[in-house]
Structure 1
Amino acid sequence: MAENAAAVTGSPAGSKRRERRRSSPVWLEFLGSMNLAITLLVVVSIASVIGTVLPQNDPYNDYLIQFGPFWFQVFKALNLYDVYSAWWFLGILGFLIVSTGVCVSRHIPGVWREVTRYRTHVREQSLLALSSHRRWQVDADADSAEMVADSAFQGYGYRTRREVRGDTVILAGMKGTATRAGYVLTHLAVVVIAVGALIDGNIGLKIREMTGNLAVETRDLPVSQVPGESWLGPDSGSFRGNVTIPEDTNTNVAFLQVRDGYVVQELPFEVYLEDFRIDHYPNGMPSSYESDLVIHDPELDEPIRETISVNEPLTHRGHTLYQASFSDGGTALELTGHLLDGSGASMPVNGRVFENLRLQLGGMERTMEIDDFQLFNVNADPRAVERTGARDEFRNVGPSFNYTLRDEAGQAREFQTYMAPVEIDDRWYYLHGIRNGPGEPFRYLHVPADENASMETFLDFHAALDDPNRVEQAAQRAADGLLGRMGVANPDLGERVAGTADDMIATLLDGGFGAVNRQLENRVAGSNRPEMLLEFSRSVLQRTMFEIYREVLAAREGVQLSMVQTDADQRAFFEDAMNAVSTVADYGSPVIFSIDHFDHRQATGLQITRAPGKNVVYAGSAMLTLGVFLLFYISHRRVWALITPREDGGADLLMAGANQRQPEAFAAEFGTMVEAVDSQFDPRKTDRG
């Protein structure tokens, strides 16, 4: 069938095309080859998959933590962190445009000829070679036969052209030429989409950076201090940037992440944040958040007020503002710092989130960097789990703030402090977390809350342990009491026991109970009864600390020490306080903070994009959709009719047709046309060939 159709549609034209191909330069043949275009499309598809799966334009530290040093460097060398602006991706797009453009330019003339030529130069033998043909010997004259054939063709939507060759009239018809337009549209669509992608590929930024007209800033600077060579003007082309705007403030810039730094993109208008709102699920996760924005534009008579949320952006002058994230906007904090140096002193500290403060702590200057504030901290309610087994009941334990303490050498630790006490196993604690870096979980110091829901009792207890005179007196009372129970009346032994207790408490404050145990084990090594001595020494330490705790209770209640009677809750508090004292040694800070008051302020995180090539890509996509539809659902069909008059006044009629893509459907259509002709003539005088 294909060979027969080729014979009908004209092998001389095919020979001419082959001759032109042979005369074309090799490089032109290479650029216009289908294999090259498919290869480039496959590479672009793979790159697009990588750009979709791998988050783009994140800070380099995030990639380093995620992939490790080796693969981080490999992916960095391949520009996989910014695929769509990578030099090799833009180069492939440019090469694809050239290749597809050459292919289209070379084939459009042939497509045009195929669409416009009716191929009237056909031979009878060629038509008879087609599988769909039919011959009639009719009594009507040639004009009548021609009219019947033409009516049959046009009745099925064929456009016809007539040509006379000698005595023979040739009718050539065709329909479905739009499928050829589909071929052109699909190829042009690839060019248009690639051009749109290049427009939005930050080519201008790449050129400016290569020519030295743009410097990527890597320092953490206020926007007012970023040098001019790291700025992009409002008409710089396409970009995708981010900006954080606190409530009641405005900005006219966005920050573009470029490798391990950024550049500042100026906007042609200002964005003001009136209010930011966020709703939460019962488990504390955000369910929705939205921003009330005001756009101030010199070209507008009145500002634009719009509320945006996730999936509901705002577009103005080709710039689209998306609700991308949220953060603290500089919450003001009123804090009290409780020194752990034994003085029992405290100091007020006022600051804002993201502010750095200079503090004199532990005899040296330290920098306190206030990192974040959390209004809600929602955890699973353990009592609900124990009571009903349900794990979907939660409770909010209140606000907290995070800060970093950095010493003069630059070494830093991160801390987390909760404002209110947290209930754990029916006891209440103030939680103070610490970690050495972002990759570690927080370890917590549990400071027990007293009957007034404060840390004062523990702080007084901790300060008393650091007072040598009070420790000495308490140790003496503890030693006398223990020896008295044992029936030993030896003042010298009592003094030695008291001295041991004083030494153990000093070790406890420096290194915790672990250091005390190591000290005691070294002391009793080689003795006859080491276990008994260890147990006695621990009892002396605990009794001494309890005596100091009783002193604290007496001072807080304003009564004589002899009148202090401890109940079960106070004894439980003492156990927690001892554990907390041991943990303070590992806390790594000479101060713990409490939150007295805060003025919460939120900030919205916007992603601002400008994509002038977006409409070009949309147009190319529409062209591609239309082209594919034309290619798959419209078939190019040709029909012919040869009418030759006979000497007896009748005529011979030959009809034939060809369609390579849908031969079965065309055969059915051709059959109905034959039936239409049969209805006009005597079917007995036909040749069914």
Structure 2
Amino acid sequence: MLETQASVFTEPLSFRIIFRVLGSMRLAVHLLLFVAIASIIGTILPQQEVYTDYLHQFGTFWFTVFGNLDLYDVYRCGWYMGIVAFLIFSTTVCVFRNAPSMLREMRHIKSNPSESFLQSRPEQFESFSSKSDIESAQSATATLSDFGYQARVLKTSTGDSVIFAQKGRFYRTGYLLTHVGIVLFCAGALYNANLPLKWSEWTGTVHPEKNFDLPLSKIPQSSWLSSTSSAFRGIITIPVGQTVNAMFELVGDGFLVQHLPFMLRLDAFKVTHYSNGLAKDFVSTISLYHHDGKKFKTGIVRVNHPMSVDGVQIYQSSYSDSASKLNLHNYLLSAPALPPAAISTSVGEHLKTFGSQYAISITDFKTQNVIPRKAVGLSPGPDHGMINMGPTVSYLVNNDRDHTRIILKSYMKAFSRHGEAYRLIGFRENGSSAYHYLTIPQGPKDGIHLFMRYLGDLEQAARNGENASKTVFISNLKKAEAQTQVYLTPHERDDFLQSSLKVMQELRAYPLPFLTVFHDYDLHWSAGLEITRYPGMKVIYVACFALVFGIFILFYVPRRRIWIQMSEDDDKGRRLKLFGDSSRNEEDFHRDMEELNDKLQERL
């Protein structure tokens, strides 16, 4: 029987304790701290990128650690959303616990307090007046009004007069607004996290596809998302002139295909650069169509200037080559005098050369490429230490015999050094970070035909038994000039000769039996767009306003209350006792009370 009674009485008590803990400030602060730490991680660590990028950046160990902690998609992982949901619940409990008493405090004024209450106020002053009760009250009320207080005269049960004045009556709204703002902000964040999608992933309804090479037509329906999804954030790369109606949303180490609520066509793309070759701005001109093919909007998207349509934001995130036609000239170092083989290719294509021993993979093409001036023997410029080498093609060469891999860059534009034009080829072994450069003299005409012909003539002279001498070098250079019909002045011939001998020394470290020179190109762009729909943003904007306004009230609108108790004094006439308190900034309030008391004594 006693045990039954104990359970009956302890259950409500336990519930009250749990309710108090859930609504406590300490718990809310800890939850906010966890959310802040997670948000810092999500800000520093790039989110929703391809897992191979993380692997290359962090290495196997840290890649695994970060992956197990779901740090690659912090804002949509289970533990983060759990903390945010718990913070919403805790803050809501706090509001329900304290809001009624705060509202009562703002509605009902403690205008006729007890003597013990007044004596416990931190600010107390005393004044005397020779005026009548009414005149003293009028003087006190006028003084309080001058200081911005709303005052009124009350009568106590003993017949004495009490003047009550206050300002900042609604200061408690600051607490309510900040708490409600936190709840709304977290609720908006959860809404943007697309909880229905997370639920579909947890229940197995949706399966991210992990084969990034799979064509759209072969991606299973379990990896597709409807255009009516409440929230999404995905990327798409669109060549100029093409139309898409879906994008890719990276999820873990795979992706989902998100149907767009419209069709998007990239009409044009333009990129501008600074003088040093770095990208200054890139702009996409896009048109949006209904699924029936009717155009309903055309606009421009540029960096930090997205296009908005029906709650969907379209951002310019990147740009890349879109199968631009690249024309290369391939020279054999074993027979440099022969005309080069013309190669027409594009990024992503694979070629074979030198009896199929070498496999060439075209990996990248850029219209602008910046390298240190020091790397090509130039002194730093007046503005910066970089030089823009213009269009550049990058390719990877695999030697099928010894399985070595060489990474090369061929620069189309010649650069000038000491008045002489050079073509540049960079190379490095796979795994090495530093490029080595061949600076090949170009001569009066474009290309390296003169140098290659000269190299072939020198090799033939060596095979004929001619010794290396200045006479042999000059005579063979003149011979190469006649064969290529590129004629040099004596000064140009001396410079060309010195540069040629230097690059011949550099060729000893060159690991391939051929030189691939970038000749020209036919440019085709692709624009990288990020498309998002975050319906919770409106809620977040309201929450931010509530937080800012609430914090402003908390810091700058303190509640200040003053009571002036008037009573008879046989020796000095009317006695006025001042009592006051303030919710914050007690030192400022103390100075104000001293000033108010001085002004009151002047009027009395």
User: In the superposition, relative to structure 1, how do residues 338 and 113 fare at CA in structure 2: closer, same or farther (>3 Å)?
Assistant: same
* Residue number in structure 1 paired with 2:254: 261
Per-residue deviation, residues 565-618 of structure 1 (Å, max 9, x unmatched): xx757865773575466455x22xx55434444211223332322221212111
Of 315, 318, 321, the match for 2:311: 318
Q: Distance in 2 between matches of 1:599 and 1:268?
A: 34
Q: Distance in 1 between matches of 2:114 and 2:480?
A: 124
* Residue number in structure 1 paired with 2:196: 204
Contact kept? 1:657, 1:670, Cα under 8 Å: no
Of 96, 102, 106, the match for 1:105: 96
Per-residue deviation, residues 51-96 of structure 1 (Å, max 9, x unmatched): 2233333433443344333333333332333322232222211111
Of 48, 54, 61, the match for 1:63: 54
* Residue number in structure 2 paired with 1:575: 501
Per-residue deviation, residues 350-399 of structure 1 (Å, max 9, x unmatched): 2333x324x443333865432222233456778x9989974659765443
User: In the superposition, relative to structure 1, how do residues 161 and 117 fare at CA in structure 2: closer, same or farther (>3 Å)?
Assistant: farther
Of 351, 356, 369, the match for 1:364: 356
* Residue number in structure 2 paired with 1:86: 77
Structure 2 regions of 5+ residues with no counterpart? 1-10, 485-492
- The question of 1:373 aligning with 2:365 is answered yes
* Residue number in structure 2 paired with 1:34: 25
Of 582, 587, 598, the match for 1:660: 582
1:390-409 equivalences in 2 (<5 Å) = 390=382, 392=384, 397-406=389-398
SS at match of 1:364: coil
User: In the superposition, relative to structure 1, how do residues 363 and 671 fare at CA in structure 2: closer, same or farther (>3 Å)?
Assistant: closer
Equivalent position amino acid for 1:289 in 2: F
Q: Distance in 2 between matches of 1:157 and 1:301?
A: 64
SS at match of 2:582: coil
* Residue number in structure 2 paired with 1:180: 172
Equivalent position amino acid for 1:197 in 2: A
Of 12, 36, 43, the match for 1:52: 43
Q: Distance in 2 between matches of 1:614 and 1:126?
A: 47
User: In the superposition, relative to structure 1, how do residues 93 and 299 fare at CA in structure 2: closer, same or farther (>3 Å)?
Assistant: farther
Of 503, 527, 532, the match for 1:604: 527
User: In the superposition, relative to structure 1, how do residues 461 and 386 fare at CA in structure 2: closer, same or farther (>3 Å)?
Assistant: closer
- Which sits farther off after the overlay, 366-375 or 455-464? 455-464
Q: Distance in 2 between matches of 1:302 and 1:413?
A: 48
User: In the superposition, relative to structure 1, how do residues 318 and 163 fare at CA in structure 2: closer, same or farther (>3 Å)?
Assistant: farther
User: In the superposition, relative to structure 1, how do residues 138 and 263 fare at CA in structure 2: closer, same or farther (>3 Å)?
Assistant: same
Per-residue deviation, residues 97-126 of structure 1 (Å, max 9, x unmatched): 111111111111221221222336633454
Equivalent position amino acid for 2:535 in 1: P
User: In the superposition, relative to structure 1, how do residues 644 and 381 fare at CA in structure 2: closer, same or farther (>3 Å)?
Assistant: closer
Of 547, 552, 557, the match for 1:629: 552
Equivalent position amino acid for 1:291 in 2: S
Shift of 1:629: 1.8
1:497-516 equivalences in 2 (<5 Å) = none
User: In the superposition, relative to structure 1, how do residues 433 and 134 fare at CA in structure 2: closer, same or farther (>3 Å)?
Assistant: closer
Q: Distance in 1 between matches of 2:289 and 2:231?
A: 21
Q: Distance in 1 between matches of 2:129 and 2:481?
A: 131
Q: Distance in 2 between matches of 1:398 and 1:53?
A: 32
TM, length-normalised to structure 1: 0.69
SS at match of 1:659: strand
Aligned-CA RMSD value: 4.9
SS at match of 2:521: strand
Contact kept? 2:582, 2:589, Cα under 8 Å: no
* Residue number in structure 2 paired with 1:119: 110
Structure 1 regions of 5+ residues with no counterpart? 1-19, 482-538, 559-566, 646-650, 684-689
Shift of 1:446: 5.0
Shift of 1:284: 1.6
User: In the superposition, relative to structure 1, how do residues 231 and 413 fare at CA in structure 2: closer, same or farther (>3 Å)?
Assistant: farther
* Residue number in structure 2 paired with 1:531: none
Q: Distance in 2 between matches of 1:170 and 1:118?
A: 14
Equivalent position amino acid for 2:168 in 1: G
* Residue number in structure 1 paired with 2:346: 352
Contact kept? 1:338, 1:346, Cα under 8 Å: yes
Contact kept? 2:438, 2:507, Cα under 8 Å: no
User: In the superposition, relative to structure 1, how do residues 249 and 167 fare at CA in structure 2: closer, same or farther (>3 Å)?
Assistant: same
Q: Distance in 2 between matches of 1:26 and 1:208?
A: 36
* Residue number in structure 1 paired with 2:490: none
Shift of 1:171: 7.6
SS at match of 2:187: helix
- The question of 1:242 aligning with 2:168 is answered no
Pairs aligned (count): 576
1:452-471 equivalences in 2 (<5 Å) = 453-456=446-449
Q: Distance in 2 between matches of 1:194 and 1:428?
A: 61
Shift of 1:665: 3.4
Contact kept? 1:337, 1:591, Cα under 8 Å: yes
Q: Distance in 2 between matches of 1:368 and 1:605?
A: 27
1:580-591 equivalences in 2 (<5 Å) = 582-583=508-509, 586-587=511-512, 591=514
Per-residue deviation, residues 528-563 of structure 1 (Å, max 9, x unmatched): xxxxxxxxxxx6xx59xx79x9599489749xxxxx
Q: Distance in 1 between matches of 2:381 and 2:590?
A: 70
Contact kept? 2:165, 2:561, Cα under 8 Å: yes
* Residue number in structure 1 paired with 2:8: none
SS at match of 1:292: strand
Q: Distance in 2 between matches of 1:580 and 1:374?
A: 26
Contact kept? 1:218, 1:260, Cα under 8 Å: no
Quick check: which has more Rg, 1 or 2?
A: 1
* Residue number in structure 1 paired with 2:7: none
Equivalent position amino acid for 2:365 in 1: F
Q: Distance in 2 between matches of 1:452 and 1:656?
A: 98
Contact kept? 1:120, 1:163, Cα under 8 Å: no
Shift of 1:127: 3.7
Per-residue deviation, residues 305-342 of structure 1 (Å, max 9, x unmatched): 22232232221111222222222232112334445565
User: In the superposition, relative to structure 1, how do residues 322 and 41 fare at CA in structure 2: closer, same or farther (>3 Å)?
Assistant: same
Equivalent position amino acid for 1:294 in 2: S
* Residue number in structure 1 paired with 2:409: 416
Contact kept? 1:448, 1:576, Cα under 8 Å: no
User: In the superposition, relative to structure 1, how do residues 366 and 153 fare at CA in structure 2: closer, same or farther (>3 Å)?
Assistant: same
Q: Distance in 1 between matches of 2:598 and 2:416?
A: 92
* Residue number in structure 2 paired with 1:502: none
Of 594, 617, 620, the match for 2:540: 617
- Which sits farther off after the overlay, 287-296 or 106-115? 287-296
Q: Distance in 1 between matches of 2:500 and 2:109?
A: 104
Per-residue deviation, residues 467-516 of structure 1 (Å, max 9, x unmatched): xxx89xx74x52xx7xxxxxxxxxxxxxxxxxxxxxxxxxxxxxxxxxxx
Shift of 1:622: 0.9
Q: Distance in 2 between matches of 1:185 and 1:656?
A: 33
The answer to which structure has the higher helix fraction is: 1
Matched residues, percent identical? 29
User: In the superposition, relative to structure 1, how do residues 246 and 322 fare at CA in structure 2: closer, same or farther (>3 Å)?
Assistant: same
* Residue number in structure 2 paired with 1:330: 323
Contact kept? 1:371, 1:403, Cα under 8 Å: yes
User: In the superposition, relative to structure 1, how do residues 639 and 23 fare at CA in structure 2: closer, same or farther (>3 Å)?
Assistant: farther
SS at match of 1:312: coil
